[in-house]
Every structure is written in C-alpha cells, then in structure tokens.
Amino acid sequence: MQNSRKLLISRRARLFVFGLLSAVVLGGAILIFANVPNDVFELDGNSAAFNSVPPRDDWDLLNGDGLTKDAGGNVGQAGFSILRTFVNQNPERFTQGGSKDPLDIDRWVWTTGSTPSKDTITHGYAAVYDSGGHLILNFGADRYAVNGDANIGMWLFQGNVGPQDDHTFGPDRHQNGDLFVVSAFTKGGALPTISVYTWDSSCLRAVKSPVAGLPSGDSKGCADTNLRLKYASATNRTSCAGIDEACAITNSDPVPVSWQYAGKLRPPYPVPVNGLFEGGIDLTEVFGADGVPCISSFLLGTRSSQTTDAVLKDFVGGPLKFCGLTATKECTDAQGENAPINFNGSVRNDGVLPVTNLSVTDDQPGSVIDTLSKTTLLPGETATYTGHYIPTQTVGDKTDIITATANVGTRTVSTQRNPAICKIRHQPVIDVTKACDVNAPAPGLPITVHGTGNHQRHVTMNNVLTAVSPPV
C-alpha cells in the first residue's frame, strides 16, 4: 500500500464471517485476519487496480479512458463491481440561498457559471460491491485545483433527482432514508473526515452533539432539520484499520489516471496531491435493520464547509439504480372461439438488492397465473411463469400485458408493462345457399342453379371452388 493519508472505513466485527479472510496456522492455532476496510476495492489514494494482495479493483479499471462505452453504456470494465457510474464535469452549479442540504429538493436552484477552482469537480464516479452479503459503495471525484480546503458531499436518492430545465431540481423530492455522506478536506485536503446522514422528516431541528445511529423518531440523533446522523468519524483521525462504517482518503502523491484529467495546470498532468478523493461506506451496516433502500440516482457536490447547512457549490450526478425488474412474455394463439390463450415468460432481478413477494399479473379479465417458479430473487436471478385466459372477443388479434411486482423492504418495485399479441384462430367456414333457376325439360338436359357462399370469419381463404354433386 502506498504512503497515503487515510480515514476510517467500513465493517464491524462481522467481517470475520463476511469479509475476505486470510488464515495462518501456528502451532495448531488459526489466526484470522480480516481485510478492513478495502476487501473489495483499493482505497489507497491512487487509481491503479490490482496492486494489492489480494488483487482488488480501482478507478483505472472501472473508469477506463472515461470516453469509450460498452453495450450497457458504461466506460471501463466492471471488475468485481455489480453497479458503477462515471460522470463528467458540467457547467451547472448551485445558486441561491435555498440550495441547502436540510431543505427539500424543490428548494434547490442551479445556474451555469464558474465555481472557485478548489470547489470545481472535473469527474465523479461510484461503484457498488457485494462483499459477503454486505453492500459496499465506493465513490470518488477529482478536483480542478487543490489550493485550499474543500468539502465534498454525496446524496443517494431513492427518487429520480437531477437538474431540470427550469433551473430547479427534481422531478422527485426527498424520501425518508435518502443517504447523505459529507467529507471535509482540511490542510489542503490532507486530513479528510467523514459523516453519514439519512433524510428523516421526524427530525424537526438540530440538537447539540447528536448521537449517531439512533432510530427514526429519537430526536437525540437529529443533526439538523430532516437530517439524522448515522455515523461520524473521529476528528482528524487518519487510520483505516478500524471497524467503522465509512472512510475517505486523498492522494499524498501526484496520481496518473487512465481517464482525461484536465486540472488547473494544462496540458493534462497527473492529479496533484490531494486532488483525488475516494471513499467507501458499508451500506448494510449504516442502514442496519431498516435495510438498504432502493437508490435511483446520486448527486456529488462541493460545499463551503462540513456543516450540514453549508453553501453548496459545484455538482455532478446521474442515475444509479439499485433496484429493477425486467420481464419477458410469449403467448400461443387461441384455436377457435372460447379456446384459451396460453402465455409464459420470465422475470429477472436486475438490481443489486434481493426482492421478495414477487408476483405477476395480466390485464385481461379472468386471466390466471398458473405457476411462478419462485417468489424471492437474489440479484441476477430469474423466475419463470405460465398463465392463460379465455379471450372475450371472438375474432382478430388480442393484445394483453403482464406486470411483475416485488418488494425490496417496504418498497414495491415493478417492471415496465410488457405486452404480447396473440391471434384468435378459427376454422374456415362457408355458408352456402342453392336454388334451381330452370328445371330440365326432359331427362338428360341440364338444370340451371345459382347460390351464394358467405364467409364470416376473419381468416383468409384462397382457391375457393364450388361443385354440384351428381343427382341420385
């Protein structure tokens, strides 16, 4: 590990069960060492991957050149991550006095323009890992300049939040359980500290010396209006070998990075000392029994201080979806009137959190889901289903739509509506009439007849022929 300045990071004593462990046998005794905290990611103040034992991810691997995207729209490579994002600098910044973290999102305002060099974010990035059943979030940013102290904050929203065309933020607002992480860089960034909060509408005001980790409704944990303290590092503490839930670190040496960093000194040089920030948080530990919520978007920004009511400066952000389902559907045509349409398909958990109480519904009257192979899905798992219904119409195409829903904690997740089109097929039938026009005047002479053939089904018929049976 390089000489770099660190701060506390994740994971309680459960790492003996969940973490990456190494064991040494000495005289019949087994000594177990837990890799705390960077058991899944190198929080070491640089961006080079796989320079640790055991090898772990870092930002050069995940971010790549910052430009070339794969089929899923991501830059770089996934490594061991299960979700990742990389966002570039934009000209938007916070403005006006309503842009404060204790205030709801509809009070925030943005404009275009410059921010102080030390507060300007050039890139922001994040990655999510599953480490032995614990969900770990690693995040980082690089700054345009390092001349002076700076502070950085990161919001994880359950709703869809970002800058809107009318210079507000939205379209969604805060939900209880939104996560807020704040890190301060003092002495030019050499000593980062970190605090973790959740949005909690039961917090009506700040209390002196709030207690971290108290449940919702206990006012002694309220750090500010709507903000509950979940974790706070010791002031100026620089050891990363603890059992705490969160940590932050800056680079103590210039760091070359794989993406195009353009700082105050041009052309691109390595990120200067204290210009690269990275941190990590054990979301499973922070949320505890409440469970990790369905995060949908994030916003990473600089601020005037580490206090909760600091003036907000620059920001970057975008989608970061923890929850999602996708579904497929196929159907077989109904073979005639009052015959069933049978359908089948699958539902996949595309999120990073397990889902429970999975169900599938169809929009047709009387539709029945015959089987659902499982109702709990781990991330990446798939369930299959079958069903049927008797269509009410008797002819033509029939479009029906299934919807899959499941729970992540107390939140319901659903798929986009997924249609399938089946036909109601009929046996071709012609109603025939016949009448004699002229009787035969004598045996052996012709009889003239006429008639009609009436086809009333929506089935195309070709090469229709008529014939008159011989007389008996």
Please name which of 283, 418, 292 lies closest in space to residue 355, comparing C-alpha atoms: 292
Contacts of residue 238, Cβ cutoff 8 Å, sequence gap at least 6 = 5, 6, 7, 191
Number of domains in the chain: 2
Within-domain flag for 98: yes
Within-domain flag for 456: no
On whether both 343 and 401 belong to a single domain, the answer is yes
- Residue 461 is predicted with a pLDDT of 54
Query: Which pTM was predicted?
Result: 0.80
Please name which of 421, 428, 418, 420 lies closest in space to residue 458, comparing C-alpha atoms: 428
On whether both 261 and 355 belong to a single domain, the answer is no
**261/129 Cα distance (integer angstroms):** 25
On whether both 342 and 307 belong to a single domain, the answer is no
On whether both 193 and 254 belong to a single domain, the answer is yes
- Residue 431 is predicted with a pLDDT of 65
On whether both 284 and 359 belong to a single domain, the answer is no
Within-domain flag for 298: yes
Within-domain flag for 82: yes
Contacts of residue 430, Cβ cutoff 8 Å, sequence gap at least 6 = 453, 454, 455, 461, 464
* 3-class SS of residue 404: strand
**119/247 Cα distance (integer angstroms):** 20
Exposure of 388 in the CB half-sphere (CA atoms within 13 A): 10
Q: Residue 107 carries which DSSP code?
A: G
On whether both 11 and 139 belong to a single domain, the answer is yes
- Residue 399 is predicted with a pLDDT of 81
On whether both 73 and 130 belong to a single domain, the answer is yes
By residue range, what is the domain housing residue 57?
Answer: 5-319
On whether both 309 and 366 belong to a single domain, the answer is no
- Residue 9 is predicted with a pLDDT of 38
- Residue 409 is predicted with a pLDDT of 83
Find out whether the peptide bond into 163 is cis, omega within 30 degrees of 0. Answer: no
Q: What is the torsion angle, in degrees rounded to the nearest 10, for the CA atoms of residue 84, residue 86, residue 92 and residue 98?
A: 30
pLDDT per residue as tens, the chain (472 positions): 444 433 333 333 333 333 333 333 323 333 323 334 567 888 888 999 887 778 889 999 999 999 999 988 999 999 999 999 999 988 999 998 789 999 999 999 999 988 888 888 999 999 999 988 889 999 999 988 877 666 889 999 999 999 999 999 999 999 999 999 998 766 655 566 789 999 999 999 999 999 999 999 999 999 999 999 998 887 655 445 456 678 888 888 899 999 988 876 666 678 988 889 888 899 998 998 889 999 999 999 998 888 898 889 999 999 999 999 999 998 888 777 778 888 999 999 999 999 999 999 998 888 999 889 999 999 999 999 999 988 876 666 778 889 999 999 878 888 866 778 877 765 555 666 777 766 667 776 777 767 676 655 555 556 666 666 665 4
Within-domain flag for 145: yes
On whether both 331 and 413 belong to a single domain, the answer is yes
Neighbours of 17 (CB within 10 A): 10
Within-domain flag for 209: yes
